[in-house]
Amino acid sequence: MTKDFAGRTSRAAKPKKHVQKRKPAAPARVFFHGPSFTTGALVGAAIVILAAYAPDYLSENSKAGATSVTTAADQAGPTQPMQFDFPDMLRDTEVLADPEPYAVPSTSSSDQPDVWHIQAASFREKADADALRARLLLDNLPATTEVSSANGSQWHRVVLGPFARRVDANRAMTRLREQGISGMCYPCTGLQHTLLSDKDTPSAGVAGQRNAALIDTYEGYFMELFHGTTIVSVRDATHVAMGGDGQVSIGDTVMKGNAVKVRKLYQGKVMAGFAGSTADAFTLFEKFEGTLEKYGGQLTRSAVELAKEWRTDRALRRLEAMLIVADQTATLLISGTGDVIEPEAGVLAIGSGGAYARAAATALAENTDIPAAEVVAKALKIAGDICIYTNHQHTIETLAL
């Protein structure tokens, strides 16, 4: 049977009665604790006893200890000073080492270059040497002349110096190059400087004869410097020509007579010639050709960049040479001092015979109508007749404008 839960009412919940909990009773307070009181009394009594009797006990013990120490010292007698035997033992057993294997070898002052000299040129005739010396003296350069013998011939050398520092000699070398002279710089010790100065002096006497072998050996220093000289370039209305002689000299000796000092670069569009050290010049040729490739054959810009690198690079600035470069637009002189010079009249010459070649080429260009290549050939011939470092084996290149 179903039930009806919908109509049923829920019973109301009866409210719970609140039951109050009882609090636990508080423990009774204890006002006296027997064990604690007993412990405190004992500790206090002990402190009082120590305070009363400890000082007397300690003073008696200290007096007894002092008496015993004094007695022991009296029995031992007077004290003996302490002696140390180590200094004597070490002194007796000292071993002296030989310092020779560890000594630094001293450098003799005679092996050090005290001064520097520059040989500007060498002539067979004394008048030529005196003329160059006078020219250099007017340029405020300390020039002197010396007489030497080589291969049975007598030569008159024009020498600059002495210079106390290599930098001063380098500056004088730069001034010589500006005049078209390729000098040779060499070191000289104090002894060698004295001997070289007195070599041809009558007062040298026996000392000069005794050291003649040393002087001749020292003059062999010139043999280490290769030199090629006299390059000239001439420009006219239709062509630019450049030529050079073929002589390569080592000191006062001709080593080669057919050297090629003028060549074409950059697909035959640029001509270049050198005067100075042969090995240095070929190094500069390679650097300049690389610079031309880098800047597309622009002559002026390539020359400026080469001069800048030549001046600042530590390796290149030691190269002793000069270059003349030319194309259809310009003729330029490049030096190791950072100079790039373009001539006004279209005539340029360098090397030991450069001054003679330039004078001859200028006169021919201004007063005749002969072609540029022929002017170059005649100028080189005149320079070869005057300068001992220039021969008549010529190499001439031309470019059409």
Q: Which residues are catalytic?
A: 229
Query: Which tokens hold the place of 352?
Result: 């030991």
State the Cα–Cα distance between residues 332 and 343, nearest whole angstrom. 7
Query: Which tokens hold the place of 217?
Result: 């050996």
3-state secondary structure (DSSP) of residue 165: coil
Check: CB of residue 232 under 8 Å from CB of residue 275: no
- Straight-line distance from the first to the last Cα atom of the chain, in angstroms, rounded to the nearest whole number: 138
Query: Which tokens hold the place of 15?
Result: 């409210």
C-alpha dist (Å) from residue 113 to 109, 162, 192, 224, 291: 8, 11, 9, 17, 37
**Neighbour-count burial for 277-289, b at 16+ CB within 10 Å, e otherwise:** bbebbeebbebbb
β-strand 253-256 against 262-265: which pairing, if any? Answer: unpaired
Check: CB of residue 241 under 8 Å from CB of residue 327: no
Cβ neighbors of 176 (< 8 A, separation 6 or more) are 118, 120, 141, 160, 182, 183
